[in-house]
């Protein structure tokens, strides 16, 4: 089961972008513009983590953080345009697990969310596809019980494909998730996918497949 993430962000464009990036990483996501129904969401949606903006209409992020800590064991990653150390300390002292200042790169936010969820034991760090094992926490990739050496970028790419296993992802999705910016040259994706594919196929059959006109998918052939 995918981890559930509740995004509370009053800027619709930011909230939509964050929600989309998290869904592309395999999470179940709900987005709210304020915290008016937080108590209901905690009871019904039961998020594993809350991405919580500080500057919200009505109850601000610090007040909502108190509600979360009283009634839920969900992780909390706070978002804010404030750069002041006192605000960061206040959030962390109040029980936030991490604090990300605006503006931010979506890929970094997703990575921080994933890291908090792994620390809380809410999502597995190890994914297996056929005879391929990818351990995101340890940075270890094994195929047929043999270690595979990848560069840092190749590892991020494979971790993303493993999280999306069985689903076709486009070059734009990969650029956003792995490089943090969709306007890079799409050829970057082709070059790194080819490198990962070559290394994986040294120890077995093809796992990274091209879906013409759509993108790539990681799956073991039956």
Residues 4-120, CATH architecture: 3-Layer(aba) Sandwich (3.40)
Note the pLDDT of residue 217: 95
Note the pLDDT of residue 26: 77
- CB-based contacts of 27, cutoff 8 Å, min separation 6: 2, 3, 4, 5, 113
Domain definitions of the chain by residue range: 4-120, 126-218
Q: What is the pLDDT of residues 54-103, one digit of tens each?
A: 989 999 999 999 999 999 999 999 998 766 667 777 777 888 999 888 88
At 185, the pLDDT band (50, 70, 90 cuts) reads confident
Cα–Cα distance, 135 to 128 (Å, whole number): 9
Note the pLDDT of residue 106: 86
Q: What is the pLDDT of residues 186-211, one digit of tens each?
A: 789 999 999 999 999 999 999 999 99
> 4-120 and 126-218: same fold?
no
Q: Of 104, 100, 76, which Cα lies nearest the Cα of 87?
A: 100
At 222, the pLDDT band (50, 70, 90 cuts) reads low
Cα–Cα distance, 87 to 97 (Å, whole number): 14
Q: What is the pLDDT of residues 129-159, one digit of tens each?
A: 999 999 887 788 999 889 999 999 999 999 8
Q: Which residue matches tokens 């940075």?
A: 139
Higher pLDDT residue, 147 or 182? 147
String of DSSP letters for 79-143: EES---HHHHHHHHHTT-SEEEESS--HHHHHHHHHHHHHHTTSS-SEEEETTEEEETTTTEEEE
pTM here? 0.63
- CB-based contacts of 174, cutoff 8 Å, min separation 6: 157, 160, 189, 215, 216
Higher pLDDT residue, 124 or 46? 46
Cα–Cα distance, 35 to 39 (Å, whole number): 8
Maximum Cα interatomic distance, the chain, rounded to a whole number of Å: 57
At 168, the pLDDT band (50, 70, 90 cuts) reads very high
* CATH class of segment(s) 126-218: mainly alpha
Q: Of 125, 148, 147, 149, which Cα lies nearest the Cα of 136?
A: 125
Note the pLDDT of residue 177: 81
Q: What is the pLDDT of residues 10-45, one digit of tens each?
A: 999 999 999 998 887 778 999 999 999 999 999 999
């Amino acid at each position: 089961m995918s981890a559930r993430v509740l995004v509370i962000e009053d800027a619709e464009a930011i909230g939509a972008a964050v929600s989309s990036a998290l869904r592309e990483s395999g999470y179940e996501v709900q987005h709210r513009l304020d915290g008016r129904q937080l108590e209901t969401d905690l009871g019904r949606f039961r998020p594993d983590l809350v991405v919580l903006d500080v500057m919200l209409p009505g109850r601000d992020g610090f007040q909502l953080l108190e509600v979360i800590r009283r009634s839920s064991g969900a992780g909390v990653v706070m978002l804010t345009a404030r750069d002041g150390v006192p605000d960061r300390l206040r959030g962390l002292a109040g029980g936030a697990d991490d604090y990300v200042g605006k503006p931010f790169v979506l890929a970094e936010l997703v990575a921080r969310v994933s890291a908090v969820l792994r620390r809380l034991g809410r999502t597995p760090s190890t994914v297996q596809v056929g005879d391929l094992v990818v351990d995101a926490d340890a940075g270890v990739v094994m195929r047929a019980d043999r270690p595979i050496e990848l560069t840092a970028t190749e590892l991020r790419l494979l971790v993303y494909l493993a999280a999306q296993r069985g689903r076709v992802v486009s070059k734009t999705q990969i650029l956003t998730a792995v490089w943090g910016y969709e306007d890079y040259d799409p050829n970057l994706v082709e070059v790194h996918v080819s490198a990962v594919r070559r290394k994986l196929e040294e120890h077995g059959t093809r796992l990274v497949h091209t879906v013409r006109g759509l993108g790539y998918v990681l799956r073991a052939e039956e």
